[in-house]
Structure 1
Amino acid sequence: MKWNQLKQNKYWKVFTNKYVLISIIFVIWILFLDANAWLTSHRELDQQIAEKEQNVDFYKRGIQKDQNRIKALKDSAGIEKFARERYLMKRENEEVFIIQHADSLKKDTNE
């Protein structure tokens, strides 16, 4: 194609218009090069959404555990079991022995 034929091409006339060129450069800048570029910001937002969804799952599991614990504590046997395990309570005339294994003890880091 010769230069004169290229200049007469309708696409050449459209793309060499200064407003079209500036608009194309602007769109490229906004989509790819800017600090708040469309692609970059969407990737970050997708990561944040994934983190929030993981948090929702974590807290839903925690709520379910708490609801199960509340159901277990509704009767007196559940309350007694909880008090014995957590607060080492005992009945009258009863002895409680606490057995701790060496691997379950907390170790001081200063030793």
Structure 2
Amino acid sequence: MKKVFSLLFNKYLITSVAFVVWMTFFDQNDWMTQRSTRRELDEIQESIRLMTAETESMEKDLALLQHDPERLEQFARERYRMKRDNEDLYIIERK
């Protein structure tokens, strides 16, 4: 029993426990803050990955539009609703 009390009142153990509690709950960079920061970083990295993929896709589309006149015409007709002089244009929108 005396060994248990001497272990519990050991100044190194008390200091270590106090340090761990302080760093876990009360410090500026506590565990909760680190966890939320890590979650935010993961979301930003995912956003960067999606934006990079979208940029690569747009660059491919741009290269096609610059070198393929048929693709450019298709893009203009679909996106800007352009038509030839002898055509009628009917727009059907999906909801």
Structure 1 equivalent of residue 78 of structure 2 = 85
Match of 1:72 among 60, 64, 67: 64
Larger Rg, first or second structure (1 or 2): 1
Unpaired runs of 5+ residues, structure 1, are 106-111
- Indicate if the aligned counterparts of 2:83 and 2:89 stay in contact, CA closer than 8 A: no
* Residues 13 and 30 of structure 1: CA distance in aligned 2, closer, same or farther (over 3 Å): closer
Matched letter for residue 78 of structure 2: E
Match of 2:47 among 55, 62, 73: 55
* 2:22 matches 1:42: no
Cα deviations by residue, 1:56-78 (Å, 9 ceiling, x for unpaired): 12101211221121022012222
Matched letter for residue 26 of structure 1: A
Q: Distance in 1 between matches of 2:53 and 2:7?
A: 63
1:49 is paired with a residue of what secondary structure? helix
> TM-score, structure 2 length as denominator?
0.70
Unpaired runs of 5+ residues, structure 2, are none
Pick 1 or 2: higher relative contact order, CA cutoff 8 A, min separation 6. 2
- Indicate if the aligned counterparts of 1:30 and 1:37 stay in contact, CA closer than 8 A: no
> TM-score, structure 1 length as denominator?
0.62
**Root mean square deviation of aligned Cα:** 2.9
More helix by share: 2
Q: Distance in 2 between matches of 1:16 and 1:29?
A: 17
